[in-house]
């Protein structure tokens, strides 16, 4: 997972909440996307942490509106007014869909599954000197805790869905997790898919979702006469190098982690 550096990063404001056309019947906001967990194969590395509550009473949980202490300041490149996001690693797992981390073929050849990384809060630096900073919690997905990781706030604009093109069944991805490591999803939910920018996935990419029926195989249907059953369709909202967050825009049945995600090429079907 990428390392995070805060030196020289300009402060930014959270964009106003807004829906995007073609993303289903519910309004999806930038912050809802950020609150969805992303799969992680190893704990993220960040040079800054939530050191303490500004109140100095030893509390470990900090609520919206309160100030947190950061043991870094202008000497480390932080700036007054800079926006940060706090993140936390959810519990790890010894296996995913019955496969142990590091096993050959795990998640279509990707490395072993660790857990989920979630955004816990958006913060803005309000006071700063050379070595310390105080940041206020201005928006929260969860309670912020001492020890949470800090990195620059990057909230991408929501995309329009790409035109509906043909499905590429030779490129089968996997539905992974949602917020709180959820594994079941309905209409309007945000979930993770194990394809990212290095696989050519961009915001707006469409995926058709399928369930491999009993007797079939997620990776190979050779030797079985059971077809996959359609579950729904998702549109990618934002991407990392190896994963995507997507919103369910059409659902025929409950979508579950481990379901097949088949990319649609852009253009006319």
- For residue 99, what pLDDT is reported? 38
What confidence tens digit (pLDDT) does each residue in 206-262 have? 999 999 876 545 545 454 556 788 999 999 988 888 889 999 988 998 999 889 999
H or E element at residue 30: helix 30-35
Q: Would you say residue 47 lies in a domain?
A: yes
Q: Would you say residue 13 lies in a domain?
A: no
133 and 41 assigned to the same domain: yes
- For residue 26, what pLDDT is reported? 64
What confidence tens digit (pLDDT) does each residue in 179-193 have? 777 889 988 888 999
- For residue 17, what pLDDT is reported? 39
Q: Would you say residue 15 lies in a domain?
A: no
Q: Would you say residue 240 lies in a domain?
A: yes
Q: Is the pTM of this model over 0.85?
A: no
Q: Would you say residue 20 lies in a domain?
A: no
User: At 207, which CATH number?
Assistant: 2.40.10.410
The token duo for 176 is 């992974």
Distances (CA, A) of 59 to 64, 136, 143: 14, 16, 12
DSSP secondary structure string for all residues of 131-175: S-EEEEEEEESS-EETT-EEEE---PPPPPPPP---EEEEEEEEB
Q: Which of 90, 121, 152 is the last residue before a domain boundary? A: 152
66 and 116 assigned to the same domain: yes
Burial category of 2 from C-beta neighbours within 10 Å (exposed 0-12, middle 13-18, buried 19 and up): exposed
| Ranges under pLDDT 70 in the chain | 1-27, 40-44, 91-115, 214-226, 267-269
104 and 186 assigned to the same domain: no
Cβ atoms < 10 Å from Cβ of 30: 19
- For residue 225, what pLDDT is reported? 55
What's the gap between Cα 222 and its chain centre?
33
Domain that holds residue 107: 30-152
The token duo for 187 is 């209409």
How many domains would you assign to the chain? Answer: 2
């Amino acid at each position: 997972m990428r390392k995070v550096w805060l030196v020289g990063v300009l402060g930014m404001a959270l964009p106003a909440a807004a829906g995007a056309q073609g993303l289903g019947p519910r309004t999806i906001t930038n912050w809802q996307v950020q609150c969805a967990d992303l799969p992680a194969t190893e704990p993220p590395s960040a040079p800054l942490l939530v050191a303490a509550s500004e109140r100095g009473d030893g509390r470990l949980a900090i609520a919206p509106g309160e100030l947190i202490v950061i043991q870094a300041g202008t000497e480390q490149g932080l700036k007054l007014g800079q926006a940060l996001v706090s993140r936390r690693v959810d519990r790890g797992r010894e296996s995913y869909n019955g496969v142990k981390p590091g096993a050959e073929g795990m998640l279509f050849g990707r490395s072993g599954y660790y857990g989920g990384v979630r955004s816990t809060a958006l913060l803005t630096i309000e006071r700063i000197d050379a070595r310390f900073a105080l940041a206020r919690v201005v928006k929260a997905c969860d309670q912020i805790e001492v020890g949470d990781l800090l990195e620059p706030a990057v909230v991408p604009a929501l995309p329009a869905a790409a035109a509906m093109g043909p499905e590429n069944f030779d490129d089968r991805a996997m539905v992974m997790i949602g917020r709180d490591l959820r594994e079941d999803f309905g209409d309007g939910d945000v979930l993770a898919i194990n394809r990212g920018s290095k696989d050519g996935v961009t915001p707006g990419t469409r995926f058709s979702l399928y369930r491999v029926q009993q007797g079939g195989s997620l990776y190979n249907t050779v030797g079985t006469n059971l077809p996959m059953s359609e579950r729904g369709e998702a549109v990618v909202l934002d991407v990392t190098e190896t994963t995507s967050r997507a919103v369910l825009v059409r659902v025929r049945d409950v979508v579950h982690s481990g379901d097949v995600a088949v990319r649609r090429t852009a253009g006319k079907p």
